[in-house]
Amino acid sequence: MATFSFVSVRLSWYSLIFFGLVLTQVECLKDASIDRIFTEEELSSYIGENDGPIYLSVLGEVYDVSTGKDFYAAGSGYSYFAGKDGTVAFFSGEFEDTTEKKNILDYKPNQIAAMEEWRAFYEDHETYFFVGKLEGDFYDSKGHPTQYLNDIKEKLNIKEEKDL
């Protein structure tokens, strides 16, 4: 009897350790599927210096556009977009930073659609790829969409419904 309880206590300990290990693995897998979150400062270093990668952000989604260095590297026509979120410039064509912050919700749905088309361009591109999200206007520090992004998407949906 005493042997039996000794064995069962040992078995329970083994099962606890086993399930603990399984849970740790599951947590690791969950973490691995979480998007990388960039701060503005981190993103600003990806401008292709010393042949390093070039990242840009549109609507808070960060893409590696290193293969497009002829467009985005320093001194090229679209270098403005490198290392930052250029969402508004994708529509306005103004490739200069201003102190005045523009509210995307003030734009017409078809103007917002142009920004979304650029986002889709990067998402679908053969040699550019998604690398994470930018913490700021569109995503919070955990990568969840902000109310602002939800409102922008809602305005976009209204446009798509009207287009049908």
CB 95 within 8 A of CB 82: no
The nearest distance, CB 145 to ligand HEM, in angstroms, is 23
Is the Cβ of residue 97 or residue 154 nearer to ligand HEM in the bound state?
Answer: 97
* Burial class (CB within 10 angstroms; exposed 0-12, middle 13-18, buried 19+) of 39: exposed
The nearest distance, CB 63 to ligand HEM, in angstroms, is 9
Spatial neighbors of 91 by CB under 8 A, at least 6 apart, are 107, 111, 112, 114, 115
Is the Cβ of residue 14 or residue 121 nearer to ligand HEM in the bound state?
Answer: 121
The nearest distance, CB 32 to ligand HEM, in angstroms, is 29
CB 76 within 8 A of CB 70: yes
Is the Cβ of residue 109 or residue 143 nearer to ligand HEM in the bound state?
Answer: 109
Q: Which residues bind ligand HEM (CB under 6 A)?
A: 65, 68, 71, 78, 90, 93
Is the Cβ of residue 69 or residue 155 nearer to ligand HEM in the bound state?
Answer: 69
